[in-house]
A and B are shown apart, each in its own frame.
Chain A
Amino acid sequence: MGDMILPLEEEEDMKRRNTFSINDNVDLLVEILGRLDGRSLGVAACVCRLWSSVCRRDSVWEALCNRHVAGGGGGPGTRSVVAALGGYRRLYRLCVGPVLDRLAGGPGRAGWAPTREEAAHLSLSLSLSLFSIDCYERLGGPRQRPASLLFLCKPVNVS
């Protein structure tokens, strides 16, 4: 017989084996998603269950926080402290994200224009302080709703 003419299913099977799906390689997916910004991560979490579980990993958010603030992580102990206070994902959502938004939105206050490193370092320390206050308020139990960070959720006054 000359060339083998494969039945259709086998041909498609071969095609599948030769193509590449990102979902097959979770580590690669983590690497890629770890380079996104906060909003895109949120969007990516809505794609499918695998992506959602990847986006819930704290390491992804840790990489995001460290990229934007403090240029390389706050030090070896930071991770355990942040984990104890509630995790990087919560830290970004409640503090780092809003802080970065505010900093990007408005001009520097009169008399002080921070360098990038200064802004990064200060954003982290400020975010951590606010985050610890939030964690403390949540310890207060169900009767006390944490409200000290509400001011961060307000829209920026651009008038």
Chain B
Amino acid sequence: MGPYPFGSGTAASGWAAADSGPQCSASEIDGLLAGAGYRVRSSDLLHVAHSLERLESAIGGGPADHLASAEAVRYNPSDLTTWVNSILSELSSSLPPLRPPPAAPVAGTWPDLTCFSLPYPQYQTAVIAATRQREEEEGSAIRLVHLLVTCADAVQRGDSGLAGNIIEEMRVVLTRVNTGFGIGKVAGYFVDALCRRIYSPCSSSSSASVAGSAADQEILYHHFYEVSPYLKFAHFMANQAILEAFDGYDRVHVIDFNLMDGLQWPALIQALALRAGGPPFLRLTGIGPPSPDGRDALREVGLRLAELALSVRVRFAFRGVAASRIDDVRPWMLQVVPGEAVAVNSVLQLHRLLGDPGDDAAAPIDSVLGWIVRIQPKIVTVVEQEADHNRPSFLDRFTEALFYYSTMFDSLEAGGGATQKQQQAVAEVYLQREVCNIVCCEGAARVERHEPLVRWRARLGRAGLRAVHLGSNAFKQASMLLTLFSGEGYCVEEVDGCLTLGWHSRPLISASAWRADADVAPLPDSQLFNPGIAATINSTSISGNDNNNTNNFQSMHHGSGNGNAAANNQQNNATCDGGVIGL
């Protein structure tokens, strides 16, 4: 049964009964029409039909039997007649007034209306046609949303038969909606995701196939970075906080939880180069997934950053840590040196460490936050999606995701020019992967466990971190960044010292900064520097240019980290590559 309680059968029989001749009395017709949902007398109905027929012939559309089709949205005709009259009156001031029906017709038959032929200007017909089409599409869009939610409910209850039927119906509706943009496109993605969930359930083994395309993920990420301001906003806010926290320190160390292409760091390197008092010695530790095909992606990024730093005369050292999950990383791999200012930077990474909310077992997030705090960073920058996609109930997650990603896709569309359509499409695939993960996967395979800022506040507070206000400078920089993007709907808001970027007053991404409480015990040295690993350190110094910058080139080679971490009992999946490039 569809959402409309009046199926086609009743209406058709109503009309058929009316056509069958003068045997049906007016009251019977009224009864039939009332059954079809029309609470109006048949005599009035005739007048409505006159107006509609006029409209129909003016549009030049087909025969009026679409009024009785299954998909027609039916309104109360007494309202309909005023609506039609208002349209006709505002558009046809030059036309002859509505002529009364020629003669009192025999009850139950329609008079011949072809004698009405009124000239309409072309553009008015186009306006009417467009209005009608848009309303059809809006009706279909609302129907799609309703069907999606119903299907998700069926999936939650385990009724895969019903869910399958609804998916078929949705695919039919999708053919009638423009799937190039708007709700049609988003609905298409969600329908695909639901399909995948029902027919090919995502097991933890298939998550490897998704993660295995790490190079693809980088390309998608890059396109998403180019097309929309969210990642740029994230990077700029984090850099601003890090820059302010590093004020006055001569040796600084940044730990990036997801290096990707390293696009965040050129701006920081440049800002440090220009800071008053000269640039510090910058160390960057980039964590990223291991490269499958032997290329050392982390090292390549490090080399490029080092080249940039060399050109602007910032002493720079890079270290790559290859780990497929952040909870595989141990503090000793980061090689924190006492006396340096440490910054931890996590852009859209912490949510991957969360577990199911009802689960009391310690989620990986707690252990990771634990060692973050005990490294005693001067600043921890956290950027996360502002959404609630980690609820225990599938239906809740689904509806939340539907509205979140509709807003997100809307914002992508608004920002595009003709040249960017292709990039936009790739950026949308990036988002589509997130959608699939949220909808299809469960358990350990589901990594997109977004939580809203208020929950992150509580969680980070429990771990021993205190919020640092991002400051008005950051807000102004964000606002200025937004003026460069042509979509006019972006808005930056400040919430208790954290900044959120959203689309039309729906916040979509939030950036916040934290620092460790002073009274937390630091990590013991045995965990910061693991003596179990044999390390050979070669250091040669290359005397610099006429500025007398002494640059140290250090290369550290470690044995592969598997199982060598004597301090830990669990199997350690992270390897510490000897990819240290220093300048």
Contact = CB atoms under 8 A, between A and B. Distances in A.
Interface of A: 74-75, 77-78, 80-81, 84-85, 98-99, 102-103, 106, 108-112, 114, 118-119, 122-123, 125-126, 128-133, 135-136, 139-140, 147-148, 150-157, 159
B485 A151 contact: yes
B203 to A, nearest CB: 36
Nearest to B270: A132
A126 B477 contact: yes
Contacts of A126: 477, 480-481, 484
Given A136-B263, A150-B419, A128 B270 contact: yes
Using C-beta atoms within 8 Å of the partner chain, give the interface range for chain B.
35 or more
B399 interface: no
A92 to B, nearest CB: 15
Interface in B270-323: 270-271, 273-274, 276, 278, 304-305, 307-308, 311-313
A157 B486 contact: yes
A142 to B, nearest CB: 14
B542 interface: no
B403 interface: no
Given A75-B274, A118-B476, A132-B269, A147 B423 contact: yes
Contact of A135 (B308, B477, B492): B308
B545 to A, nearest CB: 11
B226 interface: yes
Contact of A139 (B304, B479, B481, B484): B304
Given A77-B273, A102-B483, A109-B482, A122 B476 contact: yes
Nearest to A105: B483
**Candidate in A85, A99, A123, A129 with the most chain B CB atoms within 10 angstroms:** A129
Given A125-B477, A129-B271, 15 more contacts: A77-B273, A81-B273, A98-B484, A108-B483, A109-B479, A109-B491, A122-B477, A126-B480, A129-B266, A133-B263, A150-B226, A151-B226, A155-B417, A155-B486, A156-B486
Contact of B480 (A111, A123, A136, A159): A123
A37 B479 CA distance: 25
Contacts, number: 119
Contact of B308 (A118, A123, A139, A154): A139
Contacts of A140: 304
A102 B485 CA distance: 9
A131 B274 CA distance: 14
A78 B267 CA distance: 14
A93 to B, nearest CB: 15
B544 to A, nearest CB: 14
A129 B420 contact: no
B6 interface: no
Interface of B: 222, 225-227, 229, 236, 239, 262-263, 266-267, 269-271, 273-274, 276, 278, 304-305, 307-308, 311-313, 414-415, 417, 419-420, 423, 475-477, 479-488, 491-492
A151 B227 contact: yes
Contact of B263 (A125, A148, A156): A148
B482 A78 contact: no
Contacts of A78: 274
A112 B270 contact: no
A102 B308 contact: no
Chain A to chain B: the 4 pairs with minimum beta-carbon distance, closest first: A157-B486, A129-B267, A132-B270, A136-B266
